[in-house]
Every structure is written in C-alpha cells, then in structure tokens.
Amino acid sequence: MDKRVRLGKTDLYVNPIGLGTNAVGGHNIYPDLKEETGKDVVREALESGINFLDTAFIYGPERSEILIGEVLKEKGLRQDTIIATKGAHKFVDGKIVMDNSPAFLKAAVDDSLKRLQTDYIDLFYIHFPDTDTPKDEAVGALKELKDQGKIRAIGVSNFSIEQLKEANKDGYVDVLQSEYNLFKREAEKELLPYTAKSNISFVPYFPLASGLLGGKYTKDTTFNDGRAKSPLFTGETFIKNLEKVEQVREIAQAKGAEVAHVVLAWYLSRESIDALIPGAKQPDQVRRNLKTLDIQLSNEEIDKIDRIFQ
C-alpha cells in the first residue's frame, strides 16, 4: 500500500511505514549479517512501496549507506526515495567521540553523499549532541547546506528538550528522532508537546522495544544479548510487560492482525508522529511491517492501549 504523508513542515512526502536500516550492513550492531540479504531487504522495501529509508554513518560504520547507494543506483529509484542519514560520530585514537561542529557536519554530509552515490540527502540528522558546540550553530551549518541544495531537511536525534529548543532557536529544525515506545514514554512529557507546537515531525526509534512489543516472546523466552540485563526483560517486570502485550493481542486478534501492527498503528495516532521506521533483517519482515497501514484503531482502542501502558 502506498499512502504518502507530509513529514512535518518539510516538502518530503513519505509512506508512513519506512525502513530503519541498522541491520543493512550494520556489522557493528548485529554480528553475522549477510550484506546481500541486507540489500534484498532494501529492494523489497522499494518494490513494496516504501520510499523512506533511514540510515547513518555509524551503521557499519559506513556500510549501510554504501549498500543503500548501490541498491538505489541498481534500481534507478533515487528520485522516488526519501533518504535520511545521520552524522556526529568520529574516531579519535580508536575511540568514538561526538562532533557537532559546523566543519565536521559539512564534511560528514559530503562523505555521506559519496557513499550514497547521490548529490543530495533528503533528511540529514545530527545523530547525537556533543558537549561543546552550540546547537543553533550546528543547525546553522545544516541550514547553509540546505540553502546549497545538498540536503532538503534538517533533523536532530537524541537531543534533550533543552538542546532541541536551542537547536530550533531560528526555527530550522524539521524532524526530531528520539527513543519512544509504549514502555518508554518520557518523550510525552516535553518532547512530543514541543514538536507538535513547533510543527516538527517526531520519528520514534525502538518503536517495538527491542521486540518486546512484537508479541513474539513468552515467559520462557531467554536472551543472550543486551536484553538479558535490561530491566524490561528481567524478573517480575518482564512477566508484567508480557501481560500488557497480551492485552494488545486481544485487540489485534479481533482485527486479524499481529500485535506489532496494532502497536505501530497506535504511534501513528499520536500528534506529530507522521512516519515510523521499523527495522527488518529479512525481506518478509518488510512486507509484514506494511500491514500496519491496514489497521484502523477506534478512539476507544487508542485510549485502551494508552491506559494499559500508563
């Protein structure tokens, strides 16, 4: 299904279900990734009507952007695709540090353009704040690049409300990407009200809470990665979280849908959330994510899900 929506105040029109691509070439995030499978995921997205791809320098590093650039060139679909990428990470003596300086961001955009094999980026985010650069100066550098036609929209990611307000002093910020899901709702206190008031589009990451909101886990599921130490996935909290997910499953089953589809549809009912970027490691996951667009939630169902996770 191809239903385009406007991303905030930008001139970017996207399918509300995009594709997060940290599993496309993101060898530093997921071990044992096959790059050809990652390219198949991107191909499937493009062939299925997804036109919003979210990547970053640090996915790989560099490999995700490179693979996406290769697929877009092969498919000849650059004009039809909205590419979002991010920069801020740099390596100093083998360690990663954040840099938001105007000189670094301008160089980061140029480097991303080469890897993506394109002459413009639709949406460029400052991936993480650094500790030194005034945020309005950092965004001012991106505004220069926007005026030059190198980028079409300006985003910031992982910014606190204070950093976001400073970054948006001149009204140049178009999109905020931040962690938000039904188990992690801090963004509702200040970030979401501010983005709604400022016509900034809010793109949540980890929308399925590392799979917990996907409805696939039971109390017997064990984890051998970072989730094994996460409070969400351990002890009584894990059991209670699964009980909440089961209440969503009742809504999903009545619609002949999966839990994940209902959860994603709930986010799209929130003010200032125009689009989502669930990830995928296999092409069939891309097709499943798109089923979200078939879900119509009533006001009663929206309120019920809200109450379950309060």
30 included as an active-site residue: no
Say which of 59, 205, 217, 267 is annotated catalytic.
59
Pairing type for strands 13-14 and 5-6 reads antiparallel
Q: Burial level of 56, CB count in 10 A (0-12/13-18/19+)?
A: buried
Of 102, 150, 148, the closest CA to residue 124 belongs to 150
**By three-state DSSP, how is residue 303 classified?**
helix
Question: What is the rounded distance in angstroms from the CA atom of residue 125 to the CA atom of residue 155?
Answer: 4
| Neighbouring C-alpha atoms within 13 Å toward the C-beta of 248 | 30
Is residue 307 exposed (0-12), middle (13-18) or buried (19+ Cβ within 10 Å)? exposed
Is residue 122 a contact partner of residue 55, using CB atoms and an 8 Å limit? no
Sequence-distant (6+) residues with CB within 8 A of 4 are 13, 14, 15, 51
| Separation CA 43–CA 50 (nearest Å) | 10
User: CA of 40: how far to CAs of 14, 49, 62, 198, 208, in Å?
Assistant: 21, 14, 18, 37, 22
Catalytic residues: 59
